[in-house]
Amino acid sequence: MIVRPRENWFRLLFVWNGSVLSSIIPQLCFMAVVSTLAVFTHGRVFGEKIPLNTAPFTLFGVALAIFLAFRNNASYERFNEARHLWGNLLIASRSLTSQILCYVPEHADTLRIAKQVIAFVYTLKHELRATDSTADIQRLLGREQAEELSGVVYKPMFILNKIRRELTVPNRRINTSDAKLWMFDAQLDELGKALGGCERIASTPIPFAYNVLLHRTVYSYCVLLPFGLVDSTEFFTPLLCVFISYTLIALEAIASEVADPFSVAPNALALDAMSRNIERSVLELCRCPMPKPVVPVRPYQLT
């Protein structure tokens, strides 16, 4: 995720890193070529004049803008829900650790369970990004448990079940009242809800038909636009068409990035930083040394 300091209005006009401009330059170059050809051929294709003017593009542009707004709202809703789920993950991890420390102070395995909570967070991050979690599991739980988890498909749920077993099975490791067990189980349920919510978002993309329809509509509009403007704008046609195409194509690209909030795209969630923040918070409660936070560095990228 790209995190930048607040820029003034002038510098914001020239921001490159974090925008989608770098990914849509080929499309804009293509539009510049089409617009230039429309100017030099005076809106003709194979010698035939294309009978277009600005009126249909005005009406069609309004409908396209509404459709783009719907697509962007649907994408941002997924992004916003994912951020709320990771916020709840932080709250539940802190609460569970604090409850174990305060209500079962004689429990000798508190730090180990706290590290299991942290391992749950990291394995969830790796599951959502389809990356290897072995290094983080070894760092937090040791080589033996890393080998135990090597053949597990749903590692976060396996770790969560292991925490519940250690905390809730009577006389297994701790002796505590039913009220305290219910309290622990409530926080474990919150972790499970966050896990299920993230898996739901990751496994339910926006229907492909929406992407295809929007993609075809945007590019059809952009390709035909120069032939509708060339009679009225003449040599300014390439400039206007590239700018309008930038707006529409960039909105589509942003919607595609935001719709997958767990990826490593510049506009996705900063899962590395959020996972480290949860780890630091839990370890501080246990009065253990904390790793350094993940901070944005030039060019202000925080993953």
pLDDT digits (tens, 9 = 90+) for 1-14: 656 566 666 676 77
Tell me the average pLDDT of the chain.
86
State pTM to two decimals.
0.86
Determine the structural domain holding residue 258 and report its residue range: 26-285
Angle at 38 between CA 34 and CA 43, to 5 degrees: 140
H helix and E strand count, the chain: 11, 2
**Does residue 239 fall inside a structural domain?**
yes
**Does residue 14 fall inside a structural domain?**
no
**Does residue 293 fall inside a structural domain?**
no
Q: Is the pLDDT of residue 100 over 80?
A: yes
**Does residue 299 fall inside a structural domain?**
no
218-223 long-range contacts (CB < 8 A, ≥24 apart) are 218/64, 218/68, 218/248, 218/249, 218/252, 219/27, 219/249, 221/57, 221/60, 221/61, 221/64, 221/248, 222/31, 222/248, 222/249, 223/31, 223/34
**Does residue 58 fall inside a structural domain?**
yes
Q: Is the pLDDT of residue 178 over 60?
A: yes
At 51 the pLDDT is 80
**Would you call 297 helix, strand, or coil by DSSP?**
strand
**Residues belonging to the chain:** 303
170: left (phi over 0), alpha (psi -120 to 50) or beta: beta
Nearest alpha carbon to residue 141 among 109, 116, 110:
116
**Does residue 19 fall inside a structural domain?**
no
**Does residue 35 fall inside a structural domain?**
yes
- The residue ranges of DSSP E strands in the chain, in sequence order, are 44-45, 48-49
Residue 168: φ, ψ to 5°: -110, -15
Higher-pLDDT residue of 49, 133: 133
User: In this predicted structure, which of 6-10, 29-33, 157-161, 181-185 has the lowest mean pLDDT?
Assistant: 6-10
- Local confidence band at 115 (pLDDT 50, 70, 90 cut-offs): very high
Q: Is the pLDDT of residue 154 over 50?
A: yes
Angle at 245 between CA 240 and CA 247, to 5 degrees: 100
Q: Is the pLDDT of residue 258 over 60?
A: yes
Spatial separation of the C-alpha atoms in residues 137 and 97, rounded to whole Å: 19
Q: Please classify residue 240 by burial: count the beta carbons closer than 10 Å to its beta carbon, then call 0-12 exposed, 13-18 middle and 19+ buried.
A: middle
At 157 the pLDDT is 95
**Does residue 8 fall inside a structural domain?**
no
At 171 the pLDDT is 45
Query: What's the number of domains the chain is made of?
Result: 1
